[in-house]
Amino acid sequence: MNNAGSYICRPRIRSPQDEACCIKMVLEVKPKTNISHVCPHKKDLTLGSIGDIYCPSLDCQSDVQSPEVTWYQNGRLLSEERSNRIQLGEIYDFHQGTYVCDYTQSDNSSSWTVRAVVQVRTIVKDTHVKPDILEPIVDTLEVELGKPLTLYCTARFGFQKDFKPVLRWYSKDSNQQLEILTSEGRSVQSTFEDEIVKCAAHLKEVTQRDLRKTFICFAQNSIGNTTQSIQLKEKKGVVFLYVLLGTVMTLAGMLMAGALLYMYWIEIVLLYRTYQRKDETLGDKKEFDAFISYAKWSPIESEAGSSLSEETLALNLFPEVLENKYGYTLFLLERDMAPGGVYAEDIVNIIKKSRRGIFILSPNYVNGPSVFELQAAVNLALNDQTLKLILIKFCPFQEPESLPHLVKKALRVLPTITWRGLKSVPSNSRFWTQMRYHMPVKNSKGFT
């Protein structure tokens, strides 16, 4: 505080003719506060070049005249540097940072520490190319009329020490060029070598007039400018897309419904018959719902692929399910045929009195005498439309050469139900559902 006061500088007068010029300087000394604000000096160093740093208050003094200086980089003491200049050599990234230089200044009566701050930034050489537009990248943009729209203009600018980028949107209508009010460009990514800047143009509502305009993204630096034009196009594919999507979904629904109908058609028909309560047997003057024909001898029962024989199926299972549960009237030769008649005539008469003919096919059947019953039924069905024949494939077989031509043709065109062994035994199996589908419609108490 003793250094405060007025200082007067007056040169000596060597002769009476000399004029004296005095300079007065007032020095005010204030106590140091807790908050210190030092305005740093800034210095840019080009990567790859040779550079050095001077202590700002001593940069005009030679190394011989300058006092001893203490240097710090980012708070770290540089013990080897004691002069007012740091020779860095080739510049690298790690040279960037905050440098602080301290030295002691004194006069005859006192001394004090002088501190200066240098903010060093490592940079690359200024670019020599124009900006590169990153967005938009297409010439046309599909839009919806009446909807708001935001157009983005993004460009990459190479490094420049005095970086003053220009990025904006223009619209050109006929021969007039109008600037669009846009938000100011903002940096979205910055590196040593370049900087990406982005700006946006906002249209509150897309109109027909906008479709006739050309929108221009304009980017400029000190080297030159680059533009990218874009034309708005009305999006007509929206309605078409909805129509196409609706059509595809409708077709998919129809296919799925068709597949379900195909899989469960028999069940649907049976359900319809149940609620319709129609009886097609009324007034047809026939006694039996079905005549059952099977091989009367079966020496090798294992050929059927199960422990059940054709005779068991015909004499036990058919009456149990079709007669007892669903109320049909069946005719079985061994059970219902009166003895003493002529076999061929009796068969023909029974078939004429039946609405359906059920034929259990097996190797024993097609190679045995029972095939006569199928042949007789085919001949009768040609003249009687109320007589329908049902074939049951009890087990695989090969058609013998001696089989009548009419029977061979019938095996290819008549409805065939496959017996699947023990899986077909339960009354709720697929086999009995198919049988009910081909049987005549009856309004019976047992029919469910």
Q: Is 243 exposed, middle or buried (0-12, 13-18, 19+ CB in 10 A)?
A: exposed
Q: At what angle do helices 430-438 and 237-276 cross, to 10 degrees?
A: 80
Question: Rounded to an integer, what distance in angstroms lies between the CA atom of residue 198 and that of residue 185?
Answer: 5
338's CB contacts (< 8 A; 6+ apart) are: none
CB 151 within 8 A of CB 203: yes
Q: Half-sphere exposure of residue 299, counting CA atoms within 13 Å on the CB side? A: 2
Residue 63: name the closest of 87, 98, 44 by CA.
87
CA torsion, ordered 350, 352, 354, 358, to nearest 10 deg:
80
Cβ contact 105:111 at 8 Å:
yes
User: Considering only CA atoms, which of 113, 109, 104, 116 is closest in space to residue 7?
Assistant: 109
Residues 139 and 145: their CA atoms lie apart, in Å, by: 19
Output phi, psi for 72, to 5 deg.
Answer: -130, 140
Assess whether 373 carries a catalytic annotation: yes
Task: Name the catalytic one among 303, 373, 399, 401.
Answer: 373
> Helix (H, G, I), strand (E, B), or coil: what is residue 368?
coil
424: nearest Cα among 390, 394, 386, 384: 394
- Token pair 């095939």 is found at 371
> Which two structure tokens, joined as six digits, stand for 330?
């069946």
- The span from the CA of 215 to the CA of 209, in Å, is 12
Classify residue 237 by burial, with Cβ atoms within 10 Å: 0-12, 13-18, 19+: exposed
Catalytic positions are 373
